[in-house]
Structure 1
Amino acid sequence: MATALSGLAACGGGGGSSSEAAAPAPVPAATPATAQAAAASVVRRLEVPAALDDPPFDSARDLTVPPGFGIRLWARVQNARFMALAPNGDVLVSVPSEGRIVLLRERANDVPQAFDYVTGLRNPHDMVFHRIGETTYLYIAESHRVSRSVYRGDETSRNASEVVVDNLPDNSTPELQGTYGHQLKNIALSPDNRLYVSVASTCNACTEDTESDPVRGAIYQYSADGRERRLFARGLRNAEGLAFLPGTSTLWVAVNNRDEIRVPVDADVDGDQSSDLGKLIPSYVDQNPPELFTSVRDGGNYGWPFCNPVPNGAMSALDLLPDYELNRNGGTFSCAAADRSAKGIRAHSAPLGFSFLHGSALPAAFRKGAAVAQHGCWNCTRLDAGYKVSFFPFDDAGNAGAEFDLVSGFVLNPDRREVWGRPVDTIPDARGNLLVSDDFAGAIYQLYPLR
């Protein structure tokens, strides 16, 4: 039976970053692609093992994928959010709402075996495996702290951990009075062993977050052991995904921008022959402001909440306009001084986790780009923004090209607001497949190349 989307939190109401894992096993070297990566164009019936066919998978489900790929339901994890690939090929899945992390281990001719890897956490979200010298650490971001443990191969429960960053703002922070719309934390570690933590906004658009300590709507940098805190970049409302472009020290993020934006210019948007300046016009809100997929520079300011990006045909190097409510006519902050994003994604698509596929064992055509999970719009007039996994090809200079769909088909009826799935995160596994988590259907899908 179709499941209607209703009563969900706002776009970006929590989320996390791309998980970076140590290489699980030797994989084919990234070679020049003999064919260009192809967009989703083939409808495939989702393969569902009998052991996993509870709703919504008691009915046939179809997804659109690139030629040469199939897709199957790999595992069920209710409220599954972010994933991380362990060095031995196991997959960790965070379940913030239950305070636990699940470990999935493949079995021959069976669905993966599931273990409660760690329980009793406070909103665990993002997870990163990172090697320093001869030691592999697992970093886990809870809503109020980041901890790490030493990873030992084939473990099914977490070793003793140490807190490296504590007292991050969340719903328990007294000044927030129990209200923090984006309290889930997202992290990344750099090649030079620096820890990056995204502290998302508490609001849709407000000035309080720009004056708090720590600044919210920002990314902080620490040493790997949690010392040497400093503000790295700001003006990023809700940086859900964080990852370093392989082979570089360039941090990339996926950002959920604001909702309910008022028309910032003296123009007739709805065609009624009168100015719509300062009005909430549904057709304008549906398309503005774009979400961001961008590299982030040290010291950068990307404009939120004072400036909003404007979509253009290429969805690249987006101009910014002053926010009507908080920066009318640019009197508070000069949008000309804000950093431009590398790429835009359609407004309210809610990009969450993403992974660079450069070092993966996926087919060569996909080994130079990023797969981005888009959770989907909650309040658009039609549910046709997001609800998919998209792909950004990258060139040798580290520039992102034009976005195209990789997996789509989770929307049953955009006008009746019916969907059956919402992608959250995507990571390559150890065997050349792409895993996609879904917190709405409680599922992990496996996009696999047909052999």
Structure 2
Amino acid sequence: MKYTGLLAIFTLSALLTACGGDTEPAQYGAAPELPQPQRGLLPDMVIAEPAEWGDKRPTVPDGYTISAIATDLKIPRQTLVLPNGDILVAEGRGGSASSLKPKDVIAGKIKSRGTSPVKGGNRLTLLRDADGDGVYELSTVFADNLNAPYGLAFVDGKLYVANQDALLRFDYQEGQTKAEGAPEKVTDLPSEINHHWTKALAASADGRTLYVGIGSNSNITERGMTAEVDRAMVWQVDAESGMHKPYATGLRNPTALAIQPGTGQLWAVVNERDEIGPNLVPDYLTAVREGGFYGWPYSYWGQNVDDRVRPQNPEKVASAIKPDYSLGSHVAALGVSFSAPAMGEKFADGVFVGEHGSWNRSDPVGYKVVFVPFQGGRPVGPPIDFVSGFRDSDGTVRGRPVGVTVDPRGALIIADDLSNTIWRVAPAAGQ
């Protein structure tokens, strides 16, 4: 798992010193405390060298174990547990040179913000644990020649893959280890420039509808609204025909989607805007309402107007829906999965969220997987650290979690795209 890439961690001046997430409980939950926006000061760059895991492992709660079930991958992003227990891993790196921020180019650190130097695989890898002992003996390429695959879904013998530029469909037979033939294109997806390239994916409970999360092409429309056509929203796609329409809008970067068991409700984690302070704007977890508008670019967290945006749109601001649950500012949530009873009583009802980690705070946040408890179908209380230790207190970074997937048999599967590892967390024997 050797890698030598650099992680760029930005620092702000003393005037903008940010407190860590664990000391700011008001940053979490349904009613986060929002400070006044701070504009005009750019962070200073401080470079930290990532470290290999060696004999170290991420930290998990008492009564749980963690193991690396696949290593030396090529930028693992999201995972999917198939009906027979096999795991598919989407590997790749998307975007384009034009999506890089000016300070990245000026500093000459294009790949330095905590990204692996490994070339993205543009493939799906299949992992198999034949005897059910938690050790995945088989690792093989299921499909290749893809274009930055990210979102994955399985419906009635069909495997759906969201490339950065198109939604694809493979035929799938239980137990197969390699795709037979090229995939069928379901529909094209917006990909020009691709400031936010990831395309999240979820399937409705009945399998007839697919939901695709499509991020904005800018922070706050710096490229103009023409570049934002069909973006910053969730698409509703007919799984058979590929016909699509906006399902919900004003979601700056919906990076992961999940269907709530028992209700069929669509949920998303969303990365919010940058450059108005270390404690703005909260990334969030929310139920996604059909026809709903969630503020971007005109406002955030309901009716908090972003006065950088021109022209303003008071009517849209008035209609903006306040998200359900703040995860904290700049945690960069990239994965979400509803739990299952097999994960243990404390973690049976709620969602796991993979937090890739901040790049623009003097005191970084994220770099962990948290559990958000639910009660009565809604998130309640503060998030609980479930897997941590990806970043040490001295700033050493060994991994960055992306996708999280609950195996119904009782394990959490985590994609780590810095160390190119798939981690498996499960209740210890006898628990």
TM-score interval (norm. to shorter): 0.7 to 0.9
**Residues 356-401 of structure 1, C-alpha deviation per residue, up to 9 Å, x if partnerless?**
113x632243222111100000121122x110001112123x1111
Distance 1:212 1:62 in 2: 42
Check the 8 A contact 1:413/1:419 in 2, yes or no. Answer: no
**In structure 2, the residue corresponding to 1:63 is in which secondary structure?**
coil
Q: Which of 116, 121, 131 is residue 98 of structure 1 equivalent to?
A: 121
Partner of 2:217: 202
Distance 2:227 2:246 in 1: 12
Q: Which of 73, 85, 93 is residue 89 of structure 1 equivalent to?
A: 85
**What pairs with 1:240-319 in structure 2 (closer than 5 Å)?**
240-261=255-276, 285-309=277-301, 319=302
Give RMSD over aligned pairs. Answer: 2.5
**Residues 164-223 of structure 1, C-alpha deviation per residue, up to 9 Å, x if partnerless?**
4333221xx3xxxxx322122111111242111112111111176755574210111121
Distance 1:339 1:163 in 2: 36
Q: 1:228: how far off?
A: 3.2
Q: Does 1:70 align with 2:65?
A: yes
Distance 1:118 1:197 in 2: 21
**In structure 1, the residue corresponding to 2:318 is in which secondary structure?**
helix
Q: Which of 321, 333, 339 is residue 321 of structure 2 equivalent to?
A: 339
Check the 8 A contact 2:187/2:242 in 1, yes or no. Answer: no
Distance 2:158 2:7 in 1: 39
Q: 1:114: how far off?
A: 0.8
Give the counterpart letter for 1:104 in structure 2. L
Distance 2:224 2:144 in 1: 31
Q: Does 1:424 align with 2:386?
A: no
Change in CA separation of 1:297 and 1:111 when aligned onto 2, cut-off 3 Å: closer
Change in CA separation of 1:3 and 1:320 when aligned onto 2, cut-off 3 Å: farther
**In structure 2, the residue corresponding to 1:152 is in which secondary structure?**
coil
**In structure 1, the residue corresponding to 2:160 is in which secondary structure?**
strand
Q: TM-score of the superposition, structure 2-length normalised?
A: 0.77
Partner of 1:142: 163
**In structure 1, the residue corresponding to 2:379 is in which secondary structure?**
coil
Change in CA separation of 1:194 and 1:107 when aligned onto 2, cut-off 3 Å: closer
Distance 1:337 1:248 in 2: 25
Question: Identity of aligned pairs, percent?
Answer: 32
Q: Which of 368, 393, 401 is residue 380 of structure 2 equivalent to?
A: 401
Q: Does 1:381 align with 2:377?
A: no
Distance 2:161 2:367 in 1: 26
Q: Which of 378, 382, 390 is residue 410 of structure 1 equivalent to?
A: 390
Check the 8 A contact 1:217/1:238 in 2, yes or no. Answer: yes
Change in CA separation of 1:62 and 1:98 when aligned onto 2, cut-off 3 Å: closer
Give the counterpart letter for 1:291 in structure 2. D
Structure 1 runs not aligned, ≥5 long: 10-54, 174-178, 262-284, 310-318
**Residues 237-288 of structure 1, C-alpha deviation per residue, up to 9 Å, x if partnerless?**
1101111111113110000111112xxxxxxxxxxxxxxxxxxxxxxx1111
Deviates more, 1:245-254 or 1:70-79: 70-79
Check the 8 A contact 1:307/1:327 in 2, yes or no. Answer: no
Structure 2 runs not aligned, ≥5 long: 11-50, 93-119
Check the 8 A contact 1:195/1:226 in 2, yes or no. Answer: no
- How many corresponding residue pairs? 356
**In structure 1, the residue corresponding to 2:329 is in which secondary structure?**
coil
**In structure 2, the residue corresponding to 1:361 is in which secondary structure?**
helix
Q: 1:64: how far off?
A: 2.9
